[in-house]
Structure formats: C-alpha cells, structure tokens
Chain A
C-alpha cells in the first residue's frame, strides 16, 4: 500500500504541475513588455501594455459580444431541452424509443467535432435550398445557425448532468407527494426541480462554457461576417504567439477563478446553514 500510495501521490503532484504550469506561464507573460512573448524583458516589465492594446482591439471586443450572446442563448436552450431529456430518461421508465433517445443524447458527447460541424452545415444548406425553393425565403447563416448547433451539442452535457443527479435520488419523495394527492405538475415543480436545481445550474454554466469555447463546429456553421471570439483567437494564434491573446486569456482565467471561488463560498455557506437548521431542529 505504502509504495503505491507514494507513487500515486508523486504522480498527483506531477499531474497538477503539468496542468497548471502552462496556465501560469500564459498569465505571467501577458505582463511582458516585449513583442517576442516568451523572452522576458526585465527592463520595462511588468507592464499593462497588452491589456491596453486589448482594450482598443475592436475585432476582439465585437467577437466577444457575439460569443456572449450565442453562449447565453445556447445555454438556456440546452438547459430546457437537456433537463427534459434527463428527466425522461431517469424517471419515465421504459417507453418505445428510449434506447434511441439515450443513444442520441450520449452520441454528441464523443462525436468528433468535425463530423458534427460538417453534418450541421449540410443540414443548414439543405434547409436554405428547401426554403428558397418552396417559399422563396432567403436566410443567411449566422448567429441563429451557430446557436442551434451549439444547443444541439451542449444539451447532451446537461442531460448527462441532470440524469445522473436524478439517478442519485430514488423517486420515493416524488411518490410520497403523489400519494398525498399532489398533482404531477406540482410534484415536478415543488420536489423534482429543487432537487435537480444544482444540476440545472451547473448544466447551464457547462453549456455556456462549451459554447463560448467552441471553434470547430462554429467554423462550419457560421456564415461570412459572423465571427465568434474563438474563431478570431484561432485565426490569430495560427500565425504564432500573440501577446494580446495572452492578456485576453489572463482575464478569462481570472473570471473563471473568481466564479469558482464564489461558488465554493456560496456552497459552504449553504452547507453551514443547513447544518445549523438541522441542529436547531434536533434541539428544538
């Protein structure tokens, strides 16, 4: 036991170094006052030069705004559809086509992005042709098509999160409520939704992050003229390192870290409140 314990602990430390050193480097060199990003210019650094440049970079700012809109809409759509799918799979028992629904919700999780992207684009092209042929309507690819594509691949993640949360509870609470005469809808909103609320929230955040970050599928389904932030980053980064991207990355890491700390604090506070209430219930 001892030797394995030591070995695995060493590997754990090494693994965390491996995971975090690149991010730390990214952050550190965003303050480097030099065009060649990775050679530290110790005379004038640290400086906020690249942050200033970022602040005036209209292309990045416009793309970020597009990405925020797309990610918020996709996450909301994905949460609605994903929660329904998770609920159906976890609670509705066997029905015709259940295996197919399960397959359809897990397949996008592992599907290579190029395949999803290509197939979505070909669908949109076919729809365009149909609409033009039958109704004479013209539509262009852009934010709506990106959003539809993102809902489709992120709803699977929400489904998995909600389904596994529901699988963790047996349905005795719901059954008890039904036995006591509550109607199914009331049971759903008063019992099931509060139970899976953490899963719904983390599902929304997960969907938002995935949509915010996606470049491959987006490249396929975006029309000309609608650029999301990852598309802009990708095209710049292909030409090599770019200090403005470092500054942007630092800001994004900062936001994520703040969000994680905030949620940890909130969760701890909730836990403490629950404990206090339990104690009061026990003593009172």
Chain B
C-alpha cells in the first residue's frame, strides 16, 4: 500500500514514464498546466481552434444544410426534409439531384416578388429616417463637453439593455386607435377622430427606427469624436460658412461612420420579423414572415430554405461592405 502511494508521488519526478497526459495533468499543477498548453505551438492551435471549430459547426455548416435542402423536392404528404439531394446508389456512385423548382417559384409568384420589394423599401426608408435622426444626435454628443458626453452615451445605450421585444410592444400602446397618442391629440382637440396608425407601414418605420437607433448613433459617434476640429477652424479662417465647412469637411470625413451605421440598420431590417408581426400591415408581409410561414405553417422546408438563400445572397454585398468598414475602424483604433 505504502510503497504504491510512494511510487505515485515519485511519478512527479519521473515524467515520461506515465505518458504525456499524466505529465500534463499532475506534474504541472493547474496554473502550470495552462502554461504548458499555451507554451507549446499546439496550445496556440487549441486557442485558435476552439472558437473556429464552434463557428464552423454551428454557423457555417448550417448554411450548407440550408443550401442543400433548398434544392430538395417538396411533397405535401411527405415528411420534411423530404428527398435527400445526395444519394448513394447501389453501385457506390453518388447521385446529385438539384431541383430548382423552389427558386423558380420565388421569382414568379407575385406574393414573393411584392414581399421582396416591400422589405427592401421598408428597410431602406427606415435606414434613411434613422440616419436623419441619428446623425444630429451623434454630432451633438460628440461636440458636447466631456462630462456630459458619457451621460448622453449612457442614455443612448440604456434602452438597448432593456428588452427589444418589450420596447416594440410599448409602441402598440402608443399607436393603437385608443392609444396614448390618439387620446392626447383628441384631448387637446387637434383631431376629432382617432388616426389609424397601428398595422401600417408607418408603424413599422417607427418601430425599426426606435429599435435600431443606438446601432446608428454609436458608429457615427465614434467616428465624429475622432475628427480634428482644427480642420473646421481652418475652413472658417479661409472664409467658408459653417454650413459649407460642415458639407465639405465634417460630412465627407464621417462617411465611414455613416456607412457602418446605415448597414448595421439596413441589413437586419430587411429580415426583421418581430416588428412587422406586432406593428405592421396584415395584407402585406415582409419576407421574414413569409419564410417562417412557409416553414411552420406550410411545412415547405425547401421553399423556406430557398427564401433564406436568396435573402443571404441579397445581403452578401452589404455585409461585405460592412465588414470592410468595420475592419477599417478597428485598424484606425489601433493606430
């Protein structure tokens, strides 16, 4: 008994005999264990590999599956995900069958075409509204005295920490026919009968601007705050009016911020689901709602997948532009 315990203790001094795992776990105690892992090249690989692997398995591969299923054939009586695209035939040959029926349908069915156009219109218009409100706000914060700046920024970010769903819900109470806005306006005698605001495109614009405003302000602020104010002074010394100085100096310099903020609003807004479901029109669906109806109600997985793929292709260019500006800002922060 005693001798075996002694031998186990002695193993601390005799590495190698019990194999590398033993060495790692026991010869190096917990703090040194991590050292061992990090010191080695394989440790570095582990640090890179872990997040990489996770994103590959749970983010990239799912898209490949969506891509695959979008080419499957839908049969109302079958069980999803219906017929596989790849099939091993008996001779060991791989059969690949691509059915583009779902895609053809997407571009011919008027319901889909109008949903696409409507989604783009709503996202584009809301982005512009967001920019028109967010730019002056970011500008005012960036030019305010440093003591107020943090308070203002906090006030911008604070709603973001409260539930998105509940903030959209709050607008139902404001916009509906016997809601707060109509009650106040009628109480003041400005209008005689309630305005219809719920279930309109207007309500969706309000909801998107309201929910995504911080995403517009923050990139704009971090850009505007870095501006060299002596440039503006120089412009004014040379006789430029404040408006001209703004148009020729500040606005062009803030272009990366404008792009980053706008894309951060536009891209998710195209695929927005919650806001149009709660506030939007019932006769005109946005594309995300159509996707989920196709999936959950009709159980037509191929069509839902095809919608997702087309939406993704549509958004690839904006997403790449966004990443371009994002990397630029990160590189600028490094300098």
Whole-angstrom CA separation of A53 from B251 in the bound complex: 53
Counting CB contacts under 8 A, is B128 at the interface?
no
* CB under 8 Å from chain A, chain B span 275-329: 277-278, 288, 291-292, 295, 301, 304-305, 308, 311-312, 315, 318-319, 322-323, 326-327
Contact with A along B44-80 (1 / 0, CB 8 A): 1001101110111011111101100100000000001
Q: Smallest CB–CB gap between B276 and chain A, Å?
A: 12
Counting CB contacts under 8 A, is A164 at the interface?
yes
Which A-chain residue is minimally distant from B217 (CB atoms)?
A: A15
The reply to whether B59 and A108 contact each other, CB–CB distance below 8 Å, is yes
The reply to whether B166 and A249 contact each other, CB–CB distance below 8 Å, is yes
Q: Smallest CB–CB gap between B17 and chain A, Å?
A: 25
Counting CB contacts under 8 A, is B15 at the interface?
no
Which B-chain residue is minimally distant from A169 (CB atoms)?
A: B334
The reply to whether A122 and B65 contact each other, CB–CB distance below 8 Å, is yes
Which among B56, B63, B165, B323 is the interface contact of A102 at CB below 8 angstroms?
Answer: B323
Which among B143, B213, B267 is the interface contact of A5 at CB below 8 angstroms?
Answer: B143
Which one of B18-26, B92-100, B102-110, B132-140 is at the A interface? Answer: B132-140
User: Size class of B's contact patch?
Assistant: 35 or more
The reply to whether B178 and A119 contact each other, CB–CB distance below 8 Å, is no
Residue among B38, B80, B140 with the most chain A CB within 10 A? B140
Whole-angstrom CA separation of A88 from B267 in the bound complex: 27
Which among B210, B232, B273 is the interface contact of A22 at CB below 8 angstroms?
Answer: B210
Given A183-B35, A241-B172: A122 and B62 within 8 A (CB)? Answer: yes
The reply to whether A112 and B69 contact each other, CB–CB distance below 8 Å, is no
The reply to whether B173 and A241 contact each other, CB–CB distance below 8 Å, is yes
Given A101-B52, A119-B63: A112 and B170 within 8 A (CB)? Answer: no
Count contacts between A and B, CB distance < 8 Å: 270
B-side contacts of A111, CB under 8 Å: 267-268, 319
Which among B51, B179, B288 is the interface contact of A82 at CB below 8 angstroms?
Answer: B51
Q: Smallest CB–CB gap between A56 and chain B, Å?
A: 20
Which among A3, A230, A260 is the interface contact of B163 at CB below 8 angstroms?
Answer: A230
Q: Chain B residues in contact with chain A, CB under 8 A?
A: 31-32, 34-39, 44, 47-48, 50-52, 54-56, 58-63, 65-66, 69, 80-81, 133-134, 136-137, 139-141, 143, 152, 154-156, 158-159, 161-167, 169-174, 176, 178-180, 183, 210, 213, 232, 236, 242-243, 246, 263-264, 267-268, 270-274, 277-278, 288, 291-292, 295, 301, 304-305, 308, 311-312, 315, 318-319, 322-323, 326-327, 330, 333-334
A-B contact list, 30 entries, CB within 8 Å: A8-B136, A12-B141, A14-B133, A15-B134, A16-B155, A18-B210, A23-B159, A25-B170, A38-B178, A38-B180, A39-B183, A84-B51, A88-B51, A92-B47, A101-B51, A113-B273, A115-B271, A118-B291, A119-B63, A123-B65, A183-B39, A185-B34, A188-B34, A216-B273, A216-B274, A240-B176, A248-B166, A252-B166, A257-B158, A260-B158
